[in-house]
Amino acid sequence: MAEYLRAVNPRGWTAEEVAQATGGLWRGEPPARIRGVAIDSRAVGEGFLFVALPGARADGHQFVEEAFSRGASAALVERILPSYEDWPLLVVEDSRLALGRLARWHRRRFSVPVVGITGSVGKTTTREMTAAVLGRKTAILAARENLNSDVGLPLVLLEMTGEEEAVVLEMAMRGPGQIDYLCRLAEPSVGVITTIGESHMEFFRSQEELADAKFELIRALPPSGHGVLPWDHPLVRKRAHQSRAPILWFGEGEGSQVRAREVEIRGREGVSFLLQTPRGRARVVLPVPGRHLVLNALAAAAVGHLFGLGPEEVAEALRNYRPQGHRTEILRLMGATILDDAYNSSPTSLRAALQVLRQVGEGTPLKALLADMLELGEGAPRHHREVGRELGFLSGLITLGPLAYHIGEGALEGGLSPESWVHAGTEEEALEALRAMLKPGDTWLIKGSRGWQLEKILARLRAGGEDSAGDLSR
């Protein structure tokens, strides 16, 4: 699970290069060469530099000894403990900032265009689609998993070799200034904003402030770069003048230069649309259900246009798109259809997933297991209740967590029968309710914020279910 929390680079770095880049001082005999960097001791490989990061849950300094036992040749630390004082150590004031400095120094070794992608929802989907599109004719390096933070994004940059022709990054944030920091490391030449929604409102007083923070990416672009922005979003359009770079608009509105027309919903078979770009038109067929995916595909198509791809090439790339785990995955389990969208949740993405549920499960009993939507700020109860009011069409509802209780209350107001709702306070209670309510022929939506990791409930249900993992199908 922790394997991805590292960067492997065949070129490697000398100890002197790492010290100069980070501003650190070596204690002990440094290694001749470092071939990788890890921020989790379980991800350490032979010849790696282990970066000890202090954290709220765990302090990396407690795992330095383990990192050396797994083959680390050195550790980057803020302080020295007796358990590892005899090993090669690079001592810095702030290991998190030192990791960023190393990544920025390494990125500047190469004149490779970097695409930065941010937004309230759809970042990862757009990142994956963009990587698929650019990968049609370009050697690329793309972020993986959730390496999108101030400690994750540097690991992607550290894997640059100079052989790639583009780098595709995802940029997450939890407050003002964080996107700006990531841009100072990555120096993107193309910046994409997917949308501005309610996610992360816990850290902002208004959507206006949230939009300002997301626009840190666009303000960081050089005049020679390009912003890729959603035309249909007023909060984005009113800020377009802040960009020094020209803007390429995507969307369904008349002002979009990369536009979707003739959108067709094909149930569980996916969605299709006519893609219109300055280079022509082509019919795009996405093999994944969800009308909301059209905007993600348009953003990817816009980036593809900037890199010289025509609409037919974009369509061919997107035809084979498959989502990452727990994002709009359709499974079969115990005779029921499961829409596994457990990776994360927000009001915007939940509403989109509910549309998919109705499309995929047309003519079947529709049910949902919904956990808290986190980071919504003071308006969280209201957001949960408002979404709940739209759930009167469900045949069954399980809510999990204190905030999700408001979803259930809203669902009752929206017409859900009281006997169809079960509230769970723990994962165990949710699992038991799911086992009791799931029937052959049902179609279920499983969705909640990352903090709940609802895929664990699915895994336990699968372990005791009739269908084996090998029998699950799209």
Place of tokens 């979009």: 256
* The predicted structure's pLDDT at residue 197: 78
pTM metric for this prediction: 0.88
pLDDT in tens, 317-334: 999 898 878 888 899 999
**Of 404, 362, 363, 365, whose CA–CA distance to 383 is shortest?**
404
User: What's the mean per-residue pLDDT of the chain?
Assistant: 94
* The predicted structure's pLDDT at residue 466: 44
Is it true that domain 110-319 has CATH number 2.60.120.10?
no
Domain with CATH 3.90.190.20 in the chain: 329-471
* The predicted structure's pLDDT at residue 207: 85
Superfamily of domain 329-471: Mur ligase, C-terminal domain (3.90.190.20)
Domain with CATH 3.40.1190.10 in the chain: 110-319
Query: For the packed helices 178-186 and 207-214, what is the interaxial angle rounded to 10 degrees?
Result: 10
How far, in Å, CA of 170 to CA of 184, rounded? 14
CA angle 319, 323, 327 (to 5 degrees): 145
Place of tokens 């927000």: 346
Indicate whether 474 pLDDT > 60: no
| DSSP, res 130 | H
Name the burial class of residue 45, with classes exposed (0-12), middle (13-18) and buried (19+) by CB atoms within 10 angstroms of its CB. middle
Indicate whether 355 pLDDT > 90: yes
* The predicted structure's pLDDT at residue 199: 66
* The predicted structure's pLDDT at residue 468: 33
24-43 mean pLDDT:
97
Is residue 119 within 8 A of residue 196, CB to CB? The reply is yes
Is residue 194 within 8 A of residue 171, CB to CB? The reply is no
Indicate whether 464 pLDDT > 80: no
**Of 27, 74, 67, 19, whose CA–CA distance to 43 is shortest?**
67
How far, in Å, CA of 182 to CA of 147, rounded? 12
Indicate whether 55 pLDDT > 90: no
Name the burial class of residue 145, with classes exposed (0-12), middle (13-18) and buried (19+) by CB atoms within 10 angstroms of its CB. middle
Q: In what order do the strands lie in the sheet with 140-142?
A: 140-142, 166-170, 114-118, 190-193, 226-230, 247-251, 258-265, 271-277, 280-286
Pairing of strands 271-277, 280-286: antiparallel
pLDDT in tens, 225-252: 999 999 999 999 999 999 999 999 999 9
* The predicted structure's pLDDT at residue 327: 86
Architecture of the CATH domain 6-93? 3-Layer(aba) Sandwich (3.40)
Residue 465 — very low, low, confident or very high, per pLDDT cuts 50/70/90? low
The percentage of residues in the chain with a pLDDT greater than 90, rounded to a whole number, is 87
Indicate whether 202 pLDDT > 70: no
* The predicted structure's pLDDT at residue 470: 31
Range of lowest pLDDT (104-118, 126-140, 189-203, 350-364): 189-203
299-310 mean pLDDT:
98
Residue 57 — very low, low, confident or very high, per pLDDT cuts 50/70/90? confident
pLDDT in tens, 387-436: 999 999 999 999 999 999 999 999 999 999 999 999 999 999 999 999 99
Tokens of 190: 């193309």
The percentage of residues in the chain with a pLDDT greater than 70, rounded to a whole number, is 96
Is residue 158 within 8 A of residue 103, CB to CB? The reply is yes
* The predicted structure's pLDDT at residue 201: 59
Indicate whether 93 pLDDT > 70: yes
Phi-psi category of 197—alpha, beta or left, where left has phi over 0 and alpha has psi -120 to 50? beta
Indicate whether 68 pLDDT > 60: yes
Domain with CATH 3.40.1390.10 in the chain: 6-93
Is the pLDDT higher at 468 or at 194? 194
Cα Rg of the chain (Å, integer): 23
Residue 296 burial (CB count, 10 A) = 29
Is residue 292 within 8 A of residue 355, CB to CB? The reply is yes
Range of lowest pLDDT (120-134, 167-181, 302-316, 456-470): 456-470
* The predicted structure's pLDDT at residue 268: 82
Return the sign of the alpha-carbon dihedral for residues 156, 162, 167, 172: positive
